[in-house]
Chains A and B, each alone.
Chain A
Amino acid sequence: MSHSKVSRRGVIKTGMVASAGLALPQYLRADSHTGFTNAPGDSEVVLGFNVPQTGPYADEGADELRAYELAVEHLNGGGDGGMLSTFSSKALDGTGILGREVKYVTGDTQTKSDAARASARSMIEKDGAIMITGGSSSGVAVAVQALCQEAGIIFMAGLTHSNDTTGKDRRANGFRHFFNSYMSGAALAPVLAANYGTERKAYHLTADYNWGYTTEEAVRSSTEAMGWETVNAVKTPLTQTDFSSYIAPVLNSGADVLVLNHYGGNMVNSLTNAVQFGLREAEANGQNFEIVVPLYSRLMAKGAGANVSGIFGSTNWHWSLQDAGSQAFVQSFGTKYGFPPSQAAHTTYVQTLLYADAVTRAGSFNPCAVAEALEDFEFDGLGNGPTLYRGADHQCFKDVLVVKGKENPENEFDLLEIVEVTPVDQVTYAPDHPQFAGGELGACNPGA
């Protein structure tokens, strides 16, 4: 039962305790030091690898982690050096970063923004990480990028394809090497026109979230510019596993191309359903019915099996590329793990190297100095040909691969073949392009 006897003594005592409690934090203000957050000591530097280890993108996350470990090994002078020997900038010499041995901590993003931020904060606050990298989904990338901006840490985005990461949600402390929805659309459209003609009617199935929207918009505007017509665009819930009810109306809609703006498990399921419904054999408007998947990955192709053969899509990088950088990377990754790397592994490996190189060239771990070294940096030898890290939006500009599912794959890794390497000029856009408008980098934040 309650005891609500209010005595004068009680009131005074309570008041004292409460005011002491409120006043305490006033004495505990931060004192600023070194000039930037988590300045490393003289012997080692800690990087934070924040990848999905559980959840729908756990496969991608595991591959990213392998690439990070490989990158750390190479930075510290172990292994065969991988892309260090083919990288056009020769600042890195295998003695760590600025003479400090590279250590790393890992965390699980669970493909959830909240968990990813919690994990990144613990890396920053507890482990003293100087740079955070990773992510297999755009939502997570945007969330962690904003966190790093606030905390004064450099964020090197991993696998994130949505326009928003370097569009409306761009940040001064965040950098992306991976390509984006716009580039997919711009690279795919000419190939589609060449193979399927310009008199096509497209039907879009779009995953009902941010990445789906930007991809649909990009593919739509690029294909419509060539004369295609968009019959309908239907949003599908992200958690959908059976797409039959979405595929059934496609055949009678008057469309003759189906565009699946899906990624990961979504794409595996929707493509399988579409093939089961006989869309590949169907004819519409006197032409063969076709299916397009804007963003491909080897892991998805593996999931969808034989269904991917002959289907066009785009990808950031593929292990069958023949340039020296790609070969060196595939070689050292294959030696260490026994199979070729995925595009997620490639982009995260490259991002780690680019960060280390920028620190070395800048001669400082200060995020502002690093950002300055990365901005408008031109490099080559990392697998995508000559590449520009554009300063206006912190997006990499490089050639984009248009790929197609192989008709007769020789093994479980040899699922995609490169149809065309779209030159960088075709996929370049202005930083204030309508699909990227509304964002502002702001100023770089070095933190405390």
Chain B
Amino acid sequence: MLGLNKKDARLLLIVVAITMLAPFILNPFPAGSDLAQFNAGYPDLMQRFVIFGILAIGFNILFGLTGYLSFGHAAFLGVGSYAAVWMFKLLSMNIIPAIMLSVIIAGVFSLVIGYVSLRRSGIYFSILTLAFAQMSYSLAYSVLTPLTGGETGLQPKATDARILDGALEPGEAATPSLFNIAMRDSFELSLGNWEFVFNFGYYVAAVVMIFAFYMSIRIFRSPFGMMLRAIKSNQTRMSYTGLNARPYTLAAFVISGMYAGLAGGLLVAMDPQAGAERMFWTASGEIVIMTILGGAGTLIGPVLGAGFIKYFENIVSKINETVLHQWFYWLPDGLEDFVIAMIYPFVGKGWHLPLGLLFMLVVIFLPGGLVQGGQKIAGLFSRKTADEPQPKATEPAE
């Protein structure tokens, strides 16, 4: 189907099914119960899952295939966001021109940065991209304030020009939309105690992510992808055979920059505000961590990693002391305080801690990321029946 072999087609179908049914999958606990704290099925987080999934998929095309570790990918995300907001301000609140421009601008920007940075490889490449990203951040934060809004960030306002849209009604706010259906529109479904939210913006982002995922499978399986893997495994040998690696790495860099721009444009489409922190080096680091956590060089890994990180950031960080007391009120007083004192450092403002531990465990025991963990578990159960070695469709090149 769609030019994919059977295994990839199955993976794509699984991804389609998961993204389309996400409102059900992410809200397993009835509203109002203690465990509802762990529900992630609200529009903002669902949108973030798929958008950061796109970002990680794009990053993986560069890092997973060529092995070039870019530490500045957040810059493309930020540039894409700013481009999209400017389209909202100048042209129309329809998200299509905004997203198109954000992809184009991020592509041009990554072409410039890639052209310079790819003259070096290894750690020097990483440092160059980090420097460029940090430079973009500083520019956006202060020098370019008229263009980026500086610290306050950039948001569409009621008074903006918007050539294609008619004037707003008095009191009407500028809302990103796709042909007059607002991204914010949701449909709520109550089944007994369960509540499920189907958000239009989420489904738009999800369709884009499925397309991005499909493109990434095609790139992984193409001769171009093979060439990128060759660069990762031994670039010197490649040059000796008479092949110039740089056009290939540059192409991969630009493609992955455009993915980041797409993610940036979508972020703004869902929540029309672009700030400079989006380009800060920690944001770039987060992308790297997402990819490694899920499994660099695998197809689905980066999406899983992005999901894990966003889940911790948004769900675990909101468990405060009061919530813990609600959970453990049935314990005897002394014991209750003790249990809470043991758990408290790992939740709420300490949400980085369990994530860091998870990351350490993954790097030490599962160098292939969560995907490798999944394969190991699958291997445990299928070894007896299947004599042939477990097929590794998603194994990285080296």
Contact = CB atoms under 8 A, between A and B. Distances in A.
Contacts of B170: 443
Nearest to B348: A53
B294 to A, nearest CB: 20
A105 B273 CA distance: 23
Given A125-B197, A126-B39, A3 B5 contact: yes
A112 B279 CA distance: 11
Interface in A1-46: 1-6, 10, 13-14, 21-22, 24-31
B275 interface: yes
Interface stretch (A190-198, A206-214, A300-308): A206-214
B320 A106 contact: yes
A444 B171 CA distance: 7
A125 B42 contact: yes
B185 A10 contact: no
A30 B188 CA distance: 7
Interface string B132-150: 0000001001100100001
Nearest to A238: B141
Contact of B187 (A22, A30, A126): A30
Contacts of A445: 171, 173
Interface residues of B, number: 59
A219 B220 CA distance: 59
Nearest to A17: B16
Contact of A30 (B1, B185, B203): B185
Contacts of B152: 113, 138-139, 142-143, 162, 164, 169, 210
B383 to A, nearest CB: 29
Contacts of A137: 151
Contacts of A3: 3-5
B49 to A, nearest CB: 12
Interface stretch (A114-122, A291-299, A352-360, A411-419): A114-122
A2 B8 CA distance: 11
Contacts of A30: 185-187
A2 B221 contact: yes
A149 interface: yes
B318 interface: yes
A375 to B, nearest CB: 16
A13 B3 CA distance: 13
A208 B151 CA distance: 9
A61 to B, nearest CB: 9
Contact of A146 (B5, B155, B159, B351): B155
A209 B349 contact: no
Interface in A116-168: 117-119, 121-122, 125-126, 137-139, 142-143, 146-147, 149-151, 162, 164
Nearest to A106: B320
Given A24-B203, A25-B203, A119-B314, A2 B218 contact: yes
Contacts of B2: 10, 14
Contact of A442 (B173, B175, B351): B173
A150 B222 contact: no
Given A28-B198, A142-B153, A235-B142, A113 B275 contact: yes
A122 B159 contact: no
Considering residues B218, B221, B277, which has the most beta carbons from chain A within 10 angstroms of its beta carbon?
Answer: B277
Contacts, number: 159
A1 to B, nearest CB: 6
A118 B314 CA distance: 8
Contact of A139 (B1, B4, B153, B173): B153
A22 B141 contact: no
B151 A210 contact: yes
Contact of B151 (A1, A29, A151, A209): A209
A212 to B, nearest CB: 9
A210 B184 contact: no
Nearest to A107: B318
B352 to A, nearest CB: 8
A321 B271 CA distance: 42
B384 to A, nearest CB: 32
Contact of B42 (A1, A4, A122, A149): A122
Interface in B153-187: 153, 155, 158-159, 170-171, 173, 175, 181, 184-187
Contacts of A115: 277, 313
A261 to B, nearest CB: 13
B207 interface: yes
Given A3-B4, A53-B348, A122 B318 contact: yes
Given A2-B221, A53-B349, A442 B158 contact: yes
B187 A114 contact: no
A237 B275 contact: no
Interface in A191-244: 208-211, 235, 237-238
Given A112-B277, A117-B273, 11 more contacts: A3-B4, A24-B203, A28-B187, A28-B203, A53-B348, A104-B322, A115-B313, A146-B155, A237-B138, A237-B142, A440-B158
22 contacts: A1-B223, A2-B221, A3-B3, A21-B207, A25-B204, A28-B200, A31-B187, A54-B352, A108-B317, A108-B349, A114-B277, A119-B317, A122-B314, A125-B197, A139-B151, A142-B153, A143-B153, A143-B273, A143-B275, A147-B273, A440-B159, A442-B173
